[in-house]
């Protein structure tokens, strides 16, 4: 690839180029020059309206379906969707059939993505078959390319298993992902427990279901040491618990889903199952606490928590519909409606530091070009025409969005919309 990105504003807070308009020359997939004026002779030139660029974004929680649920999404189309949505890296959840709980399946999903612009990073299951009874083959999966280990949307009920897992993974410097939800407290709840659930007659899920497990997991981390990532927190108390743990010096990180930052349970008035997610969309009090957690650094990264579901599992009675929304395509545009641009970029790149131990801003000469291209300006309404996923279960249909993603440069490939 010999390409000149012409007249782009760089958003990279840790570099001298931050908020400056420059041109970037890419030769053989590597950054060769960054300057205000670069001769374009003999090179392909890329110019786009109001072009901004940043270090490539990473989504820390993406489900695709393949193997086993190809009717929901394939790896090939899912990776193309991620690229068109601005993500150079996605962490793939193990909730497939069969479950990604061994090195063979880790190798399988990685090999399916070898020629794509977006880099696929498998998350291996924490327990065999995600059943919470026996540890999966984590060391072998790490050697095959797994970046972390967790059971998707399944809380580790057995405290001793989590304790052993945190101790064991320290031997090979791995991160454990521990979703927090007490099934006995959640019961048959389907939405946030509060005024809206009472008015609509829907069974509620109290924030306590998340917080009591989170508190236990943080106690275990303090006892064992190791690295723990808490995905998709949703309550004010969860933010304060993680803030306290970080102040103690524990190696804990966390994420929040885009829909938790943008939506509130008021959207449930029409009983639309697109808004049925896990954890549930909560009220304005918790949304504001999550925003504060993002702004003060307690929440490390933001995820789309992309989960494609076919219409047979989503367009049905609210109590019976499966939890989940797609979110790759809408992540950037919806986040800009509630957060400043620099914060959005920081939180969309931070997962690389957590899971790959690489800097959040990587614009260095002779380094591989890993770049997201976008504009933060302009407004639009998100419609089905903006969805590239096979599944269409988006919680953001008809929502106002700001900005636009143009595509990515990664792995020596330019992928534009």
Catalytic residue ranges: 305
Tell me the sheet residues that pair with 21: 9
Contact 334, 401 (CB under 8 A): yes
Token pair listed for 146: 């797994």
The whole-angstrom separation of Cα 163 and Cα 220 is 6
Q: How far is CA 297 from each of CA 108, 294, 348, rounded to the nearest angstrom? A: 36, 5, 13
- Round to whole Å and give the CA distance between 226 and 319: 38
Tokens of 196: 């809206």
Spatial separation of the C-alpha atoms in residues 374 and 286, rounded to whole Å: 30
Distance from C-alpha of 356 to C-alpha of 99, rounded to nearest angstrom? 23
For β-strands 87-92 and 57-62, DSSP reports them as parallel
Residue 410 backbone dihedrals phi, psi, to 5 degrees: -165, 150
DSSP string, 67-129: TT-TTT--HHHHHHHHHHTTEEEEEEP--SSS-S-SHHHHHHHHHTTTT-SSEEEEEEPSBGG
Biggest CA pair distance of the chain: 67
Coil vs helix vs strand at 223: helix
Query: What single-letter DSSP state applies at residue 219?
Result: H
Cβ atoms of residues 93 and 121 within 8 Å: no
Here the tokens at position 385 are 């025409």
Coil, helix or strand at residue 343: helix
Tokens 């800097």 correspond to what residue?
359
Distance CA 186, CA 204 (A): 8
Which secondary-structure segment (H or E) carries 262? helix 258-262
Instruction: Give the tokens for residue 372.
Output: 């997201």
């Amino acid at each position: 690839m010999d390409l000149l990105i012409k007249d782009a504003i760089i958003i990279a807070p840790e570099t001298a180029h931050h908020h400056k308009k420059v041109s970037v020359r890419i030769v053989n997939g590597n950054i060769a020059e960054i300057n205000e004026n670069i001769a374009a002779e003999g090179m392909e030139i890329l110019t786009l309206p109001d072009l901004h660029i940043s270090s490539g974004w990473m989504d820390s929680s993406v489900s695709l379906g393949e193997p086993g649920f190809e009717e929901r999404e394939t790896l090939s189309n899912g990776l193309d969707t991620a690229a068109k949505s601005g993500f150079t890296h996605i962490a793939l959840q193990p909730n497939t059939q069969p479950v990604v709980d061994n090195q063979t399946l880790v190798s399988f999903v990685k090999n399916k993505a070898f020629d794509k612009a977006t880099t696929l990073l498998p998350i291996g299951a924490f327990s065999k078959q995600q059943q919470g009874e026996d540890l999966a083959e984590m060391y072998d999966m790490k050697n095959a390319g797994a970046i972390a280990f967790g059971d998707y949307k399944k809380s580790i009920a057995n405290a001793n298993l989590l304790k052993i897992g945190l101790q064991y993974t320290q031997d090979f410097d791995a991160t454990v992902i521990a979703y927090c939800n007490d099934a006995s407290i959640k019961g048959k709840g389907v939405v946030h427990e509060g005024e809206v659930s009472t008015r609509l007659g829907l069974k509620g899920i109290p924030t306590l279901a998340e917080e009591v497990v989170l508190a236990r997991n943080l106690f275990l981390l303090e006892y064992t040491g190791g690295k723990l990532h808490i995905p998709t927190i949703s309550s004010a108390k969860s933010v304060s618990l993680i803030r306290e743990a970080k102040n103690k010096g524990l190696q804990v990180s966390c994420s929040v889903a885009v829909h938790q930052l943008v939506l509130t349970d008021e959207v449930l008035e029409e009983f639309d199952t697109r808004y049925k997610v896990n954890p549930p969309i909560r009220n304005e009090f918790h949304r504001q606490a999550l925003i504060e957690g993002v702004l003060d650094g307690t929440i490390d990264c933001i995820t789309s928590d992309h989960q494609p579901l076919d219409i047979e599992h989503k367009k049905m009675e609210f109590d019976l519909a499966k939890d989940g929304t797609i979110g790759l395509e809408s992540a950037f545009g919806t986040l800009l409606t509630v957060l400043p641009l620099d914060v959005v970029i920081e939180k969309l790149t931070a997962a690389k530091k957590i899971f790959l131990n690489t800097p959040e801003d990587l614009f260095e000469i002779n380094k591989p070009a890993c770049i997201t291209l976008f504009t933060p300006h302009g407004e639009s309404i998100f419609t089905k025409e903006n969805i590239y996923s096979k599944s269409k279960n988006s919680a953001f249909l008809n929502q106002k969005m700001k900005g636009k993603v143009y595509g990515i440069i990664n792995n020596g490939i330019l992928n534009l919309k």
